[in-house]
Amino acid sequence: MTNTMERIARLKREQDAVVAAHTYQSPAVQAVADLLGDSFALARKAAETDAAAVYMCGVRFMAEGVKILCPEKRVVLAEPAADCPMARQIDPKRVEEFRAAHPEAAVVAYINTTAELKAVADVCVTSSSAVRIVRSLPQRRVLFIPDQHLGGYVRSQVPEKEILTWDGYCPVHHGITAGDVRAAKAAHPDAAVAIHPECPAEAVALADVVGSTAAIIDFIRDFMHSTDRPVIVATERGVADRLSLDYPGRLFQLRPEQLTCPDMKLTTPDSVLAAMEGRGGEEIVMDPALMEAARASLTNMIRLGG
């Protein structure tokens, strides 16, 4: 154990704290995490933990989500500059206008949104729960914000609903093309392709498996044990960077320079330590009325998401 890891472990005990990390974090940050997972697992695990403090290694909406679900906890975003650009790609006023014009419709917000957007939505979803949750809604018409690609993927899986999408996107996954997937398949003809639904539909159509970060990890683990074939990984490189340690030479990262989220990579073990020592990080403080308004859509997500 490094000196930094030892100091983090001691501070966790002293502060009754846990470190939560998204799977897009670097292997070094994942190594100091107590709670690890995709967006859905992190929200649920952080809501369930008894710890008094949560240090979030991810992006701002993830720390805000924990604070909204557990206002009594001290929640610290380890790297204050880490933000998801997709989270503010729609103005809440536009959602209110839509609601006024379509009172019969449900508003579904990807969890990658600000608290202000969660507050005007009926339910949040993550990439692992979006299809299940949208299918379970009583409303036939749905506005899905802000990711056009995840919204379009849900539309393809839930044809019985009328799903309107916003034009937002993740700048990391949006850059993946069908040509990228074809080129990777040509270079590794025996490989399966696992892709995240934040990628454009023409790339998704060429994949063998479409899933959230957690679903891609589960698929790779099963596949590695049942075949000798490799996998082309078409999501942020944190997934393949971590799994390559377990399956050396069998994972091919699609376009690693594109599939690197700069915000997710801001956090390091040193920034976690600085946050725990009070030299860095940002304690999440939010308006109680805003938190209350946003809470219902997150608790609906956990209830309906399974």
Per partner kind, with CB cut-offs from 5 to 8 A, the member of ligand SF4, ligand 13P, none near residue 71 is none
Q: Judged by CB under 6 A, which of 11, 236, 251, 273 binds ligand SF4?
A: 236
Which among 68-76, 117-125, 126-134, 178-186 is the span making contact with ligand 13P, rule CB under 6 A? 126-134
Per partner kind, with CB cut-offs from 5 to 8 A, the member of ligand 13P, ligand SF4, none near residue 113 is none
Q: Smaller CB distance to ligand 13P: residue 105 or 133? A: 133
x/- string (CB under 6 A) for ligand 13P, residues 25-64? -------------xx-------------------------
> Taking CB under 6 A as the rule, does residue 171 contact ligand SF4?
yes
For 231, residues 6+ apart whose C-beta sits below 8 A from its C-beta are 191, 192, 193, 194, 219, 220, 223, 224, 250, 251, 252
Helix axes 39-48, 60-69, angle to 10 degrees: 30
Q: Judged by CB under 6 A, which of 11, 21, 54, 59 binds ligand SF4?
A: 59
Q: Smaller CB distance to ligand 13P: residue 30 or 127? A: 127
Residue 220 burial (10 A CB sphere; 0-12, 13-18, 19+):
buried
- Strand-strand pairing, 231-234 and 209-210: unpaired
Q: Rounded to the nearest 10 degrees, how much is the dihedral formed by the CA atoms of 209, 212, 218, 224? A: 50
Task: Give the single-character DSSP code of 266.
Answer: G
> Taking CB under 6 A as the rule, does residue 128 contact ligand 13P?
yes
Question: Of the candidates 9, 30, 44, 19, which has an alpha carbon nearest to the alpha carbon of residue 301?
Answer: 44
Residue 89 burial (10 A CB sphere; 0-12, 13-18, 19+):
buried
Per partner kind, with CB cut-offs from 5 to 8 A, the member of ligand SF4, ligand 13P, none near residue 85 is ligand SF4
Q: Which residues bind ligand SF4 (CB under 6 A)?
A: 59, 84-86, 112, 170-172, 236, 261, 263-264
